């Protein structure tokens, strides 16, 4: 089994609706994303010969994920989230957001990222998303 690993990072804030405690307020993280791609066999022909996957292709997928979240507020697309956007939209020049169909925990985000990479035809094995240097979530399908 071969496993290749690519890493990216992005800065974003999120809002966890209904969370009791200080993380119930909008706050930011330096997210660190590690993606592992696996294959039992290496590609046998073409420019990817001898590879699990072209690192450049995986990096391009990670860049799309970074562009989706970087320097944005990640907000759940629910009633509270839409109210939050309404209240912030008086000053659209000072913030940007991304609406997601889930509570933006590390767990939900890592599953979302896993599926985004899988949709590109990449044999993703595992996604690990760090919210802090010591807290992360690993998502795998098995
Ligand atoms: Zn947080």
Instruction: Give me the pLDDT at residue 92, please.
Output: 80
Active site (catalytic) residues: 23, 71, 131
Count of beta carbons in the 10 Å neighbourhood of residue 127:
25
Instruction: Give me the pLDDT at residue 91, please.
Output: 83
Per-residue pLDDT tens over the stretch 88-135: 888 888 889 999 999 999 999 999 999 999 999 999 999 999 999 999
Ligand 1 centre from 111 Cα, in Å?
Answer: 16
Ligand 1 centre from 136 Cα, in Å?
Answer: 11
At residue 23 the predicted structure's pLDDT band, cuts being 50, 70 and 90, is: confident
Count of domains forming the chain: 1
Q: For residue 103, give its domain range.
A: 2-139
Instruction: Give me the pLDDT at residue 121, please.
Output: 94
Ligand 1 centre from 54 Cα, in Å?
Answer: 32
Instruction: Give me the pLDDT at residue 89, please.
Output: 85
Per-residue pLDDT tens over the stretch 29-55: 999 999 999 999 999 999 999 999 999
Instruction: Give me the pLDDT at residue 13, please.
Output: 97
Got the DSSP string for 45-112? SGGGTT-SS-HHHHHHHHHHHHHHHTTEEEEESSHHHHHHHHHHTTSGGG--EEEESS---HHHHHHH
Q: What's the CATH number where 67 sits?
A: 3.30.479.10
> Is 65's pLDDT higher than 90?
yes
Ligand 1 centre from 57 Cα, in Å?
Answer: 29
pTM: 0.94
């Amino acid at each position: 089994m071969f496993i290749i690993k690519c890493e990216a990072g992005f800065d974003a804030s999120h809002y966890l609706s209904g969370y009791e405690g200080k993380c119930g307020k909008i706050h930011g993280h330096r997210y660190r994303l590690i993606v592992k791609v696996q294959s039992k066999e290496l590609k046998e022909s073409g420019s990817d010969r001898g590879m699990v996957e072209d690192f450049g292709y995986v990096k391009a997928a990670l860049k799309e994920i970074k562009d989706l979240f970087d320097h944005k507020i990640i907000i759940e697309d629910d009633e509270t989230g839409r109210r939050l956007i309404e209240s912030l939209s008086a000053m659209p020049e000072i913030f940007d957001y991304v609406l997601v169909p889930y509570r933006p925990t590390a767990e939900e985000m890592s599953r979302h990222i896993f599926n985004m990479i899988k949709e590109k035809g990449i044999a993703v094995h595992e996604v690990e998303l760090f919210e802090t240097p010591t807290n992360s979530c690993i998502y795998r399908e098995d």
